[in-house]
Amino acid sequence: MGTINIGISGVAGWKVLQRTEARQIEAVAKDPVVVRSTAYFKDNIAKTAKAEELVKDYRLLNTALSAFGLEGDIANKAFIQKVLESDTSDSSSLVNRLADKRYLKLAQAFGFGNETPAADLGETVSQAYIQREFERRVGESDENMRLALNARRELEAMQKRSSSDKTLWYEIIGNEPLRAVFEGAFGFGDSYSNLSIDRQLEEFMKASTRILGSSSFKDITAADTTDKLVINFMARSQLTESVAQNRYSAALTLLTGV
């Protein structure tokens, strides 16, 4: 099983994906490549006592990073080792100074610093890996759908958090895939990233109130509001792509004289 192609993009494609998602994830979980990766991880992670041992094992590291959406860091072994060894309770430690909190979640799950490892780490990471692999394969045919799936999952996880709205907004701003969905849904251009971080926070919260009806994550993480966010993102993305395609077609017509 390779790329998951829904066959239609935009809001209509998103609705089709939602209807077929459970079946698609089940198929990904049974894929021989995925089965080998998760089995190897479960068999070997309990024997891994140090972060150094994890980063030296490519297969273990690849599954671990992929489960947290950090597979792009597979070559940055020294950096990942420092992240894993960070004291998550120390606000001045490396992992707490990183804006992208996926690294903090990684460190907390494995517990090489000061944390107790996640209960049943092998199963927990394997299930997260399967979900992310499903999203990755969807993204091979439609990156916007991958971003939408990621946003929905991340926001569901935030429902259990006791952090302040301000803290969670800073996490959104620092998490590139998640930020992309909010920016798209709010119609933000590239220039917003050039604003000061406090001004960005202000603009995101204002836009959230205007478009979603609230800037509170208690409301944003509710299923209907998250769905509104995703639908808005998919609709705006489809419109942007349509405009770009029409411009390309017009330019091609001028060049060819058709």
Has residue 44 been placed in a domain? Answer: yes
- Whether 16 and 129 share a structural domain: yes
Q: What's the rounded Cα separation, in Å, for the pair 7 and 225?
A: 26
Amino acid letter, 180 = A
- Whether 132 and 170 share a structural domain: no
- Whether 45 and 129 share a structural domain: yes
Domain of residue 124, CATH code: 1.10.3700.10
Q: Which one-letter DSSP state was computed for residue 258?
A: -
Range of the domain at 104: 1-141
Number of structural domains found in the chain: 2
**What is the total residue count of the chain?**
258
pLDDT of residue 252: 45
126-159 per-position pLDDT tens digit: 999 999 999 999 999 999 999 999 999 999 999 9
- Whether 20 and 131 share a structural domain: yes
100-109 per-position pLDDT tens digit: 999 999 999 9
- Whether 113 and 4 share a structural domain: yes
Q: How confident is the model at residue 258 (pLDDT cuts 50, 70, 90)?
A: very low
The terminus-to-terminus CA distance of the chain in angstroms comes to 41
Has residue 152 been placed in a domain? Answer: no
Has residue 150 been placed in a domain? Answer: no
- Residue spans of alpha helices (H) in 159-222: 165-174, 176-186, 197-212, 217-220
175-186 per-position pLDDT tens digit: 999 999 999 999
Q: What's the rounded Cα separation, in Å, for the pair 81 and 51?
A: 6
- Whether 27 and 123 share a structural domain: yes
- Whether 25 and 121 share a structural domain: yes
pTM across the whole model = 0.86
C-alpha dist (Å) from residue 81 to 54, 60, 94, 100, 168:
8, 13, 11, 16, 26
Q: How confident is the model at residue 1 (pLDDT cuts 50, 70, 90)?
A: low
Q: What's the rounded Cα separation, in Å, for the pair 183 and 207?
A: 9
Has residue 151 been placed in a domain? Answer: no
Quickly list DSSP for 55-88: HH-HHHHHHHHHHTT-GGGTT-HHHHHHHHHS-T
- Whether 101 and 217 share a structural domain: no
| Residue 114, both tokens | 């000061």
Where is the domain boundary, 141, 176, 191? Answer: 141
Q: How confident is the model at residue 193 (pLDDT cuts 50, 70, 90)?
A: confident
pLDDT of residue 244: 47
Q: What's the rounded Cα separation, in Å, for the pair 12 and 252?
A: 28
- Whether 100 and 200 share a structural domain: no
